[in-house]
């Protein structure tokens, strides 16, 4: 409850029925825009993966996935996915896709350790995407090119919503601004990472923050990132580190920076070894996914996730993610939202 933010004089711009219709419109429009912009074909995704393979996303390494035993398979243990970051790379490899072609899927996850607030839920739904690249594409320049393509999809969606609901005014800037996490730390050394995000997003409106997970000049990290998918340790060639980042926008309803997407160029065998060592989890190299990667059996890829409920929440100017998805919330949070006119689905 302490993390719930109630905007002053909040009133939803759409009723519950209109909201449900708008959610369908947004999802249909955006996934078509994304798939055609990035050359992505849709694939079906798993809801659970076998434990002990290294395929499930470990997030920051402390979150415990929901798991269960399968009676008809001798009690083998399965885990509900936390994201498909590593599974997608295997899928792209199996399909034998050429560089600049990829896949996208509807990812549904459960994250029981999530701290519940306006933007975080036990239930996570996102478009997970992954594309094959070649060695020459492992550059920050190529990362920025793909980010710009995704941002153009967001701008088109913004107009699409305005065209249907002219009281939801467009305000995203024409171009996205690129900033390195170490630059941001040097610019605002006395602020926390979240406060830095608020500052930069309020200034520019839309920012891609590069280098999430690697050490900053003061030895800290901007935010956690697992060591076995995004490459956050490699040199970028311009004095910085990190081939990944977060796409952030300024949220006028919540009055703060708001993450819509996380993405990056994936690790090579060398960067995987370095990142496992830096995180102190070199034992993961014995898992089947990591063995395939270290043996050079997986395609070079880049990929990420784009929150579906988050996207709907942002473009419909909602105050709580529970207004665009069905999940479970503490009773005191439900009561506070109801009192403030925030209609949780």
Instruction: Give catalytic residue positions.
Output: 57, 111, 126, 246, 259, 262
Q: Measured between alpha carbons, how far is 324 from 327 in angstroms, rounded to an integer?
A: 10
The residue among 14, 302, 40, 312 whose CA lies nearest residue 154 is 312
Buried/exposed 208-233: b ≥16 CB within 10 Å, e otherwise: bbbbbbbbbeeeebbeebbbbbbbbb
SS3 of residue 210 by DSSP = strand
Name the burial class of residue 44, with classes exposed (0-12), middle (13-18) and buried (19+) by CB atoms within 10 angstroms of its CB.
exposed
CA atoms within 13 A on the CB side of 41: 11
Q: 80 is written with which tokens?
A: 């509900």
- Are 244 and 212 in contact, with CB atoms under 8 Å apart? yes
* 125 phi/psi in degrees, rounded to 5: -125, 130
221: which DSSP letter? B
Q: In DSSP terms, which residues pair with 48 in a beta bridge?
A: 80
Q: 2 is written with which tokens?
A: 């302490």
């Amino acid at each position: 409850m302490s993390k719930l933010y109630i905007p002053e004089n909040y009133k939803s711009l759409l009723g519950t029925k209109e909201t449900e219709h708008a959610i369908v419109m947004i999802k249909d429009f955006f996934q078509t825009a994304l798939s055609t912009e990035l050359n992505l074909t849709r694939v079906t995704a798993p809801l659970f993966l076998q434990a002990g393979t290294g395929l499930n996303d470990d997030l920051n390494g402390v979150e415990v996935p929901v798991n269960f035993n399968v009676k008809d398979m001798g009690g083998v243990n399965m885990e509900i996915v936390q994201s498909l970051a590593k599974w997608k790379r295997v899928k792209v490899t199996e399909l034998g896709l050429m560089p600049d072609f990829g896949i996208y899927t509807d990812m549904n996850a459960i994250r029981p350790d999530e701290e519940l607030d306006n933007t975080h839920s036990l239930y996570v739904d996102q478009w997970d995407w992954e594309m094959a690249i070649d060695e020459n594409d492992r550059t920050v320049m190529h990362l920025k090119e793909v980010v710009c393509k995704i941002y153009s999809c967001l701008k088109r969606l913004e107009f699409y919503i305005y065209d249907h609901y002219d009281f939801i005014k467009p305000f995203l800037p024409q171009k996205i601004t690129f900033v390195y996490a170490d630059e941001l730390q040097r610019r605002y050394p006395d602020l926390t990472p979240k406060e830095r995000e608020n500052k930069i997003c309020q200034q520019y409106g839309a920012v891609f923050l590069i280098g999430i997970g690697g050490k900053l000049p003061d030895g800290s990290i901007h935010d956690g990132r697992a060591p076995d998918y995004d490459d956050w340790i490699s040199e970028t060639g311009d004095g910085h580190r990190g081939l990944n980042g977060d796409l952030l926008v300024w949220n006028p309803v919540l009055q703060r920076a708001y993450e819509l997407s996380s993405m990056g160029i994936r690790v090579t065998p060398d960067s995987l070894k370095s990142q496992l060592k830096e995180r102190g989890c070199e034992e993961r190299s014995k898992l089947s996914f990591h063995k395939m990667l270290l043996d050079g059996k997986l395609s070079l890829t880049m990929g990420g996730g784009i929150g579906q409920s988050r996207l709907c929440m942002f473009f419909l100017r909602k105050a709580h993610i529970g207004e665009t998805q069905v999940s479970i919330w503490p009773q005191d949070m439900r009561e506070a939202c109801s009192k403030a006119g925030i209609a949780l689905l």
